[in-house]
Structure 1
Amino acid sequence: MTENRVYDYILTPEELKEIWAKYGKPGEIAPGTKAAKKRNHRKSQQNIEETEKSC
């Protein structure tokens, strides 16, 4: 059976900035482009509005 190993990487702030510039920060679609809000957010907002209208 194969043993699962966990590796930790310690990066300097300069290395981290370089990686972020190349691949983007967590939560970004592309470097410098923030990710859109969750798709289901708008659906839930519409559902809330529809239920408020029907009451």
Structure 2
Amino acid sequence: MAALFCVAGCFGPTPSSAEELRAFEQAGPIRPEVDLARLVTAKLPAGPYRVVAGDVLEL
């Protein structure tokens, strides 16, 4: 049974049809969808660090 699971994917790839290849070529690359306005507003302003009680500092 274990041998069956080991060789289950070894039968080789099936060639794509001409129609599938055409559809793949027409699709083109994936373009990421980025909302630049949200990206800019998500950036938090960083100010000076204030040391508080309990902080571990390296000397």
Give me the TM-score of the superposition, normalised by structure 1: 0.34
Decide which structure has the larger Cα Rg and report it. Answer: 2
Higher RCO, Cα 8 Å, sep 6+: 1
More helix by share: 1
More strand by share: 1
Give me the TM-score of the superposition, normalised by structure 2: 0.33
